[in-house]
Structure 1
Amino acid sequence: MKTAEKLWNIFFSIIFLLILYLLLPKLPIEQIISIEVQEIILMVLATQRLIRLLVYDNIMTFFRDFFPKYKNSMCDCIHTLIHCPWCFGIWASVMILSIYYLIPFGKIVILLLAISTLAASFQILMNFVGWSAEKKKLETKKLE
């Protein structure tokens, strides 16, 4: 029934807004307003890594398996949330912002996640270069 699904979506939207409401007074607004470009870049990279980690990576499969897809249930809503990078992205960005500003060692966590994103991106790029070179090598052998 679509009504139950909509109710769970509304419930989690309210939870999200409640979390924001509770977090906003704790966040240093002056620092957020004067945020520098490199800090934004670090948080964007860290958010991307957190999304990738929870939504796709094998290491978090055990967590995703806690929420099987039961039709029209809370588990179904959470299942959808943690299997959709766009859905989870807004939650991840709030987590990253909170970690960055509220946890004393949060900047180190953000830096580690950002470095991990850059390293993974570099690895993907190198794989692409290697595969392209291998493909060209095979195409050249076929021409001989």
Structure 2
Amino acid sequence: MSGALSFVIFALASFRLTRLIVFDTITAPFRRLFHEEKEEVNDKGETETYIIIKGKGLRSWVGELLSCYWCTGIWCTALLLAIYILFPVFSMWLNLLLAIAAAAGIIEAIVSRLVE
């Protein structure tokens, strides 16, 4: 695989894994171990969601990490790179799966905006 293609696949895979951990409903039970979400209605009648970090020490650190898309993205990328170094064949399939899912999600977001 060319360097540019590998970069794009890694970038999309990291993007998808990060979104999966930070935002997707399926991982909400995991996130709830480290922080809770509180909703409040502002003066304009809009609902705003706040994150309250639970615990101290490592639990608090993980809660802070999960509340920051950029921070979680760095660690997801490091994980994918470590898997690539240790298990290159498995990594290829994992990254391809995540990259295709990311591309599908991006396409869906674009199509949804065009239809609105």
SS at structure 2 position matched to 1:105: helix
Distance 1:78 1:45 in 2: 23
Match of 1:108 in 2: 93
Give the letter for the 1:78 counterpart: V
Distance 2:86 2:7 in 1: 16
* TM-score, scaled to structure 1: 0.63
Match of 1:120 in 2: 105
Match of 2:7 in 1: 40
Distance 1:72 1:105 in 2: 36
Provide structure 2 residue ranges, at least 5 long, that are not aligned to the other structure: 36-52
Q: CA deviation at 1:82?
A: 1.0
Q: Which has the larger radius of gyration?
A: 1
Determine what percentage of the aligned residue pairs are the same residue: 31
* TM-score, scaled to structure 2: 0.77
Do the aligned residues in 1 keep the contact of 2:18 with 2:73 (CA within 8 Å)?
Answer: yes
Count of residues in correspondence between the two structures: 97
Do the aligned residues in 1 keep the contact of 2:34 with 2:55 (CA within 8 Å)?
Answer: no
Q: CA deviation at 1:72?
A: 4.4
> Once the two structures are superposed, what CA deviation does each residue of 1:78-127 show, in whole Å capped at 9, x if it has no partner?
11101211111111111111222322311000000000000000000000
CA-based RMSD? 1.5
Q: Which has the higher contact order (CA 8 A, sep 6+)?
A: 2
Moved over 2 A (4+): 70-74
Distance 2:57 2:81 in 1: 29
Give the letter for the 2:79 counterpart: M
Match of 1:97 among 74, 77, 81: 81
Which of the two has greater strand per residue? 2
